[in-house]
Structure 1
Amino acid sequence: MAEKIEDFGRVIPGAAKHRAAAWLQRVREVSDEEYIRRPLSEVFPHPDYAGLIDDGHDPLKIGYVRALREAMPSRPRGRNARRQMVQWFVMITTIRDAVMKMIDDPAGGQDMVHKISGEISGSNRNSGVGDLMMHKARAYSVLGHEQSLKDWGLFHTTSLPHQYYFANKAATVICEKAATVDGALQIMISRIEGIRAEAGEGVEKASRKRAIPKFYSMTASSGNILLFAKFGRIEVPLEEFADQNAARKWLSLNREEAINRAHEARQETRLRGERNAPRIGPRHRDGDVSPEDFMDTFGFSGVQFGNYVEGVRRQEELNRAWDGLMDLGDAIGVDPTSLSLKGRLSIAFGARGKGGKGAASAHYEPGQVVINLTKNNGAGSFAHEFGHALDNLMARAVGGPDGSYLSSGLSGGAFTAGISAQLNQALLNHPVASRSANLDRYRADDYYSTSVEMFARMFESMVKHRLDKQGRNNDWLANILDKESYEGLNRMLGRTGDIYPYLHGEDEFARFTTAFDRVIGAACSIGLLEPRTQPVITAPDAQIARQRPASSGLGAGARQMDLFAPSDQPMIGEAARPRPKTPVKRTPRSAEAPEPATPVIMQLPLGDDEGWDNIVFG
């Protein structure tokens, strides 16, 4: 079995999995004497319990960690403080060492919990603590960490046989009694879940009450009355009527439906396909990619994996990234080995994102110069995030601050009249800008119409378009919904108008081509990228039509389709023949296939096209 691929290159600060290490380092730097002088909140702060579970720690173990931490008593005070201090300090350090031991071992599970619980319960000075903490740990493992269980305690009746119950003295909540502790625990968990449900319903009702839209009407050019719902700046068209009386009558009879439709129209619509189609294009490797191959070829600053990205998945991610970067180089006409942007860019796979509803599938961090692709949804967004990285590093290369972007129109001497201003104008005067502004009407603030986001979307549009022209497809780079599919999803939410935020149609691609090529050429001129010196191989049209999948129903893990493989290679739907595990070797271009009659060479013109000459870089 192959060894699990670990992070390689530089250590990229800020990853989710570094939370435990950062917390442990902070606690270890505190001396025993400081526990006597400083508050517990400073010398032994609460760790991020939910974050540790997200990083792969066992929920029961983290529940026990929290129960122990919350059991730590405050420093003794008063007349007997001196006599009690020694006993207090022994208890505090015992719990501290147990908590640190559990957090320091991500693989440690329930066996570790039971062992430490036994050690604490077996100590005279901590009698009874371990058992109660175990009960709370079980409750935390079920209920999560949204609220503390510190004020909950376990009690029993004085008469025999004992009956057990949990109570929260601070909230004056007393649960029903049970014959066993386990029964009492289940009652407490059910009671807390019920309290949360009631609170959630109250919040939801209050939210609905606060979010009632305003309704208004306007007269269309046809003379009909158009009825709208409005949330702040967000306007949602509802229905069209012959006159005002008909509009008022409909609203009075269908008010709840109108409110629901208005809320639905505020939802974000996905921009990408739900699944990635198999890759179509030339073979770029033989066998799996090793970290050494990846680093030697592309020279990224670092590559990072999240704890939840399994060993086999890590190899698949590296293979897909290799193929994707080779395809990206072909699409934009640069040497793919320069795509690390002078070795400054890093890649993270499922290591830095935040889950939950509405979470981004990928993001770029200018502070660490790293692209993060989430484990489940990141594939399909790399070209977009690479556009952000290129935009950011080009601005910084010519003197902009760390968080600046070339597309936003930087100021400063000759540079203002150069590529930044030209690119900004090319974006703002493009049809995508007006459609993006229309889409932003359904948001509380501008997002799609900002120049930085428009550049990233138009960049990935160009990448996908140019691969299409070469008879290729790589959804890992850019999996974009076509205009009809996107508008269809929006019609289901009651959204109308021209709101597709990507390039569409040959005229729009042609209109942005000059700006796009100038950006790539400028990046080459300052050394962020290097021009391609080899021709780009394209596939004959007949072969593309014959082998392109009919639909994108296959998942991201599907085997890539190789248009230039030997004829005995299985097609989609056929059983894949086993291939020996061999070290990756970049296949020479001449060996992939006979050179096409007219190879396509991506040119980077730097001529005197209108508005793009005399570019000055400081």
Structure 2
Amino acid sequence: MAKSSKIVDTSTNVSFGSRADAFWKSEGFADYLSFVRPKFSLPKSLQANSSVEIIQNRFSIRDLNFGNWVTNEDRYNYVNSLIVCCYDLNKVVGFNYNIGFGYLAVSFGARGKGRASAHYEPWWKIINITRYEDDSSSSKMARFIATGGMGAFAHEYGHYLDYFAGKFLDKSIAYFAVTGGRIATKDRLNVGGEIRKTADDILETIIWREPNKTLSNYYRRLFELVGRLDDMGEYYLRRNEMFARWFEAWVSWELKKQGITNKLLAQGKYDERIYPTFQEIEKVAPLFRRFCEQIKAKI
């Protein structure tokens, strides 16, 4: 795998106790949290003198980075949104708030990549969330909530689990990621241990209605859609992308059952046909639960 450039080359690091951290606490910034996560009151366990301290110590996120065009007020809102994002994500994955395992870094507006609203860099273990769009026709708050990488965190976290588990928890000389990564094969990989077996089970359920005989309704409609998207090629059919897309949908489905909407964590932004239906998610949900339990047992 080719190395990506270091994220810190084009971003500003914010650490607990830094001048930036102190500045945030002293300024009366506009707070968008109630729009990112409606009907939410921050629990006492997430109230501390430093929001950066919560992210680093409470959720085991090793670092935060920001692009040069992300203002101090933006940073304040992205960080507070990330706190609630990790809090809600934990309700689904059940990692006892150990979301980053001490390895994951999160960047806001520092590593934009083509048309992607967000992306994950496996080599550096970094999730980048693209900054909101510049558009004078709507308010900054509306653009902060509805554009850029808002809604993509669960998808990119699915990538993180895929590659982290493959590198540290269930290694294979054949494939880095437990899903096999960017390959588009419909076959089971049959390598490695129990985590990779569960990833195979998840993807087999996504792709096949009857293994190696009848394709699932989801895969058939996705294949039809891809045929009309010449510029995307087989991107949507890659195993790592299908896994992350379904992980994202599973997180959203689990939270909706609890009456929770988190606009940084998960909100569909593309053609609805690339996402599974609730009925399809319900079938694969126990496998994602097993996947998370297996990761938790090995952390």
Q: TM-score, normalized by length of structure 1?
A: 0.36
Q: Offset at 1:452? A: 1.0
| Partner amino acid, structure 2, of 1:404 | F
Question: Is 1:363 the counterpart of 2:123 in the alignment?
Answer: no
Q: Offset at 1:367? A: 0.7
Query: SS of 1:363's equivalent?
Result: strand
Please give the alpha-carbon distance, in whole angstroms, between the structure 2 residues aligned to 1:471 and 1:416.
30
Q: Offset at 1:312? A: 1.4
| Partner amino acid, structure 1, of 2:70 | V
Question: Paired residue for 1:434, among 220, 225, 228?
Answer: 220
Q: Would you say the 8 A contact 1:366–1:389 is kept in 2?
A: yes
CA offsets 1:556-612 (integer angstroms, 9 cap, x no match): xxxxxxxxxxxxxxxxxxxxxxxxxxxxxxxxxxxxxxxxxxxxxxxxxxxxxxxxx
Residue equivalent to 1:510:
282
Which ranges in structure 1 are unaligned for 5 or more consecutive residues? 1-11, 19-275, 488-499, 528-618
Q: Would you say the 8 A contact 1:410–1:420 is kept in 2?
A: no
| Partner amino acid, structure 2, of 1:523 | I
Query: SS of 1:418's equivalent?
Result: helix
| Partner amino acid, structure 1, of 2:225 | L
Please give the alpha-carbon distance, in whole angstroms, between the structure 2 residues aligned to 1:461 and 1:414.
25
Please give the alpha-carbon distance, in whole angstroms, between the structure 1 residues aligned to 2:257 and 2:57.
30
Question: Is 1:17 the counterpart of 2:10 in the alignment?
Answer: yes
**Aligned pair in 2 of structure 1 residues 316, 329: CA closer, same or farther (>3 Å)?**
same
Residue equivalent to 1:524:
296
Residue equivalent to 2:191:
412
Between the two structures, name the one with larger relative contact order (CA 8 Å, sep ≥ 6).
2
Q: Offset at 1:361? A: 0.7
| Partner amino acid, structure 1, of 2:93 | I
**Aligned pair in 2 of structure 1 residues 333, 434: CA closer, same or farther (>3 Å)?**
farther
Please give the alpha-carbon distance, in whole angstroms, between the structure 2 residues aligned to 1:13 and 1:414.
31
Question: Paired residue for 1:381, among 148, 152, 157?
Answer: 152
Q: Would you say the 8 A contact 1:394–1:405 is kept in 2?
A: yes
Structure number with larger C-alpha Rg: 1
Q: Offset at 1:334? A: 3.1
Correspondences of 1:16-95 after superposition (within 5 Å):
16-17=9-10
| Partner amino acid, structure 2, of 1:373 | I
Residue equivalent to 1:292:
53
Please give the alpha-carbon distance, in whole angstroms, between the structure 2 residues aligned to 1:368 and 1:434.
34
**Aligned pair in 2 of structure 1 residues 415, 282: CA closer, same or farther (>3 Å)?**
same
Please give the alpha-carbon distance, in whole angstroms, between the structure 1 residues aligned to 2:269 and 2:106.
25
Q: Offset at 1:291? A: 1.8
Please give the alpha-carbon distance, in whole angstroms, between the structure 2 residues aligned to 1:523 and 1:290.
27
Q: Offset at 1:402? A: 11
Number of equivalenced pairs: 238
Question: Paired residue for 1:501, among 274, 282, 285?
Answer: 274
Query: SS of 1:372's equivalent?
Result: strand
| Partner amino acid, structure 1, of 2:123 | G
Q: CA RMSD in A?
A: 2.7
| Partner amino acid, structure 2, of 1:464 | S
Q: Offset at 1:410? A: 4.4
Please give the alpha-carbon distance, in whole angstroms, between the structure 1 residues aligned to 2:85 and 2:229.
32
Query: SS of 2:236's equivalent?
Result: coil
Q: Would you say the 8 A contact 2:170–2:196 is kept in 1?
A: no
Residue equivalent to 1:321:
82
Please give the alpha-carbon distance, in whole angstroms, between the structure 2 residues aligned to 1:385 and 1:417.
19
Question: Is 1:279 the counterpart of 2:38 in the alignment?
Answer: yes
Which ranges in structure 2 are unaligned for 5 or more consecutive residues? 12-34, 133-147, 181-187, 209-215
Please give the alpha-carbon distance, in whole angstroms, between the structure 1 residues aligned to 2:178 and 2:196.
12
Q: Percent identity?
A: 28
**Aligned pair in 2 of structure 1 residues 334, 14: CA closer, same or farther (>3 Å)?**
closer
Residue equivalent to 2:111:
352
Residue equivalent to 1:456:
244
Q: Offset at 1:440? A: 0.9
Query: SS of 2:69's equivalent?
Result: coil
Question: Paired residue for 1:390, among 150, 161, 167?
Answer: 161
**Aligned pair in 2 of structure 1 residues 435, 403: CA closer, same or farther (>3 Å)?**
same
Please give the alpha-carbon distance, in whole angstroms, between the structure 2 residues aligned to 1:510 and 1:466.
10
Residue equivalent to 1:477:
265
**Aligned pair in 2 of structure 1 residues 293, 278: CA closer, same or farther (>3 Å)?**
closer
**Aligned pair in 2 of structure 1 residues 416, 279: CA closer, same or farther (>3 Å)?**
closer
Q: Offset at 1:407? A: 2.1
Residue equivalent to 1:109:
none
Residue equivalent to 2:18:
none
Q: Would you say the 8 A contact 1:395–1:406 is kept in 2?
A: yes
**Aligned pair in 2 of structure 1 residues 287, 310: CA closer, same or farther (>3 Å)?**
farther
Please give the alpha-carbon distance, in whole angstroms, between the structure 2 residues aligned to 1:370 and 1:306.
14
Please give the alpha-carbon distance, in whole angstroms, between the structure 2 residues aligned to 1:419 and 1:343.
24
Please give the alpha-carbon distance, in whole angstroms, between the structure 1 residues aligned to 2:117 and 2:66.
15
Question: Is 1:425 the counterpart of 2:198 in the alignment?
Answer: no
Q: Would you say the 8 A contact 2:170–2:193 is kept in 1?
A: no
Question: Paired residue for 1:467, among 224, 242, 255?
Answer: 255
**Aligned pair in 2 of structure 1 residues 381, 479: CA closer, same or farther (>3 Å)?**
same
Correspondences of 1:68-467 after superposition (within 5 Å):
278-284=37-43, 285-286=46-47, 289-336=50-97, 338-340=98-100, 342-354=101-113, 359-376=115-132, 377-396=148-167, 397-400=169-172, 404-408=176-180, 410-412=189-191, 418-429=197-208, 430-444=216-230, 445-467=233-255
